[in-house]
Structure 1
Amino acid sequence: MKLLTLNFLTCARKTCKSNAAAFPLHPKEAELEQVETDMNPLFIKNILPRLDWEAMKTLTTELGLPNLPAETPSDEELATDGEPSQTAKDLHTLLMETSIQSGKLVCGNCEHEYAVKEGIANFLLPSHMV
């Protein structure tokens, strides 16, 4: 599960849908994997406005990854002379190449744990929690 994906997920319980603590899900006992992919600067540029930057900063801190800048990088910070900047390359590595291979995702509201195995999170809830 790519780190980018975590920025779009929240707890599956109905009681958590309206609670701000249910986002982002917090990684626990996470085993990370990095798989190299081709750089797509346009994708990075276009996805940044859609990200919850504070949630991304929280995730990187919890995973022990390098800290992100305080503010979302501007378009000028992502390219130098038509080439991707180091900031863009670092964001590509973080968002597109870094994945959680195994571990758990924990809701900050209800503390339910979603298992991640082989890079896939299981969001099925037991019947008593639906």
Structure 2
Amino acid sequence: MKVLTLNFLTCAVKACKSTSAAFPLHPKDCELVSDTLEANPKLLFNILPRIDWNALIITASELGFPTLPPTPPTPEQLENDPKMMQELHTLLLETQISEGSLVCANCSHEYRVKEGIANFLLPNHLV
């Protein structure tokens, strides 16, 4: 599961649907792997407006990545800062969670990640 995917996931428990604490899910005891992909600036420019930047800052810090700026960079800023572009590319597109858990801050439910796939099936009492 790519780190980028975490920016679009929220807790599936019915009681969490109406609370903002259910997003983002927090990585716990995660094993990270990295794929080397060719940098694609246009893809990164198109992804950035769709990202919840505050959630990305939280996720990046919990995974031990360098501190991100408080606001998302513009395409012009990224073009002028190749180091930042590479760091975002590495974080969003190359880094994957292969094993571990994703935890909801609201209900503390843990979604297991095994072999890069998160299990979002809920027990009957949580549906």
Normalising by the residue count of structure 2, what TM-score does the alignment of the two structures yield?
0.96
Could you list the structure 1 runs, at least 4 aligned residues long, displaced by more than 3 angstroms after superposition.
none
2:107 aligned with 1:110, yes or no?
yes
Quick one: which amino acid aligns to residue 52 of structure 2? D
The answer for unaligned runs of 5 or more in structure 2 is none
The answer for unaligned runs of 5 or more in structure 1 is none
Residue 6 of structure 1: aligned partner: 6
CA distance in 1, matches of 2:7, 2:73: 17
Give the conservation status (yes or no) of the 8 Å contact 1:77–1:85: no
Q: Report matched runs for 1:38-77 at 5 Å.
A: 38-77=38-77
- RMSD of aligned C-alpha atoms? 1.0
Task: Give the percent of matched residue pairs that are identical in Structure 1 and Structure 2.
Answer: 58
Deviations 1:17-44 (Å, cap 9, x if unpaired)? Answer: 1100000000000111111111111010
Residue 15 of structure 2: aligned partner: 15
Give the conservation status (yes or no) of the 8 Å contact 1:3–1:94: yes
Normalising by the residue count of structure 1, what TM-score does the alignment of the two structures yield?
0.94
Q: Offset of 1:120 from its aligned partner?
A: 0.4
Aligned residues: 127
CA distance in 1, matches of 2:32, 2:67: 16
Q: Report matched runs for 1:32-43 at 5 Å.
A: 32-43=32-43
